[in-house]
Structure 1
Amino acid sequence: MLLSLFSDGDDSAFTEIYNRHWKQVLFYAVQKTGNTRASEDIVQDVFVSLWKRRGQLEINSEFKNYLIVSVKYRVLRFLSRERMKRLAEEDNVLDYDILDDSTQQYLDFEELYSRLDEIIGELPEKSAIIYRMNKEQGMSHREIANETGMTEKAVNANLVRTKKIIRTKLNTFLSGFLL
């Protein structure tokens, strides 16, 4: 009887329904969200929606169960939005951490590259030229041999020696750098 009055737009029927059920559905919402303010908004939205749809409502179960299910779906939407916000915030923090880490990596790389450049500068001039031709200009052993007038075997031997020297000096640098 109360629902039919409500469906016909009776304000006092709506007030009675609200007064009978709002505490129970609010309690349910607070249990699920852990957030009283958000739960109050959810319950208010459910009752406003009920009022707006009062002429079209077809409730086939107990009214209290209908309200609980309505609140449940709104709670799920709320929790989903909160989760998305939290994930977005975590992504922002992660992006910041990645940027921060990449900056440090860049600085470390620059320091390593600078040390490599110093080591190459300490090499005999011919060894430094051959190394730069190979590593920086991408020239093959044959092209370097043609350019310098050396044999390919001599170029290869020179590069092997140079790489050993560089590796040894960089290992010393890196062991001190990493500590």
Structure 2
Amino acid sequence: MVRNEDLENVLLLKKGDISAFSALFGKYSERLYAFALSIAREPYIAEEITQQVFLKIWEKRHQIEEYFSFKSFLFSVTYSETISLLRKETAEKKKVNRWGEVASFETTETDYTVEFNNLELLTSEIIAGLPARRREIFILSREQGYSYREIADKLGLSVKTVENQISATLKTIREKLGESQLCSILFYFLTTH
């Protein structure tokens, strides 16, 4: 049985269901905060970004494409919001030095979205090229939300085997993506459980 709590919650969210919104907020707010913090490096900015993202999600809930990965969508919106806020902060305070190491301000938000989508596509291609069993374990974990224990029970494996397979897959993806700081940041947050 394929579990997709995000899809169920997104469908309810589109109908204005506040409990579905709360469930998505509870599931993703800390991870989005950590993601924004890893880019902005200021807790108050990360907190503001997290609030803005969820406010935007609520306000534009009718426009959400429910059959796309909600998780990827959230991180893409968070990334764009972080860039926008950093641009504003930089214009107001002229603090280019810290952010200049991470990204160029000449790049448009559309370029960031394209870069994010390219990274997601590359990751998908890497996963598609994995041995069948390893790919199945990874998909059950990262895309379908199964715990290591649930995967082990479902496939008749030990939990340690599942852990080793996930670890090997993450290592393969990291190696193939390269050492780019942006790739590392995005990859970490796309694949953390």
TM-score by length of 1: 0.46
Larger radius of gyration: 1
Q: Which has the larger helix fraction?
A: 1
TM-score by length of 2: 0.43
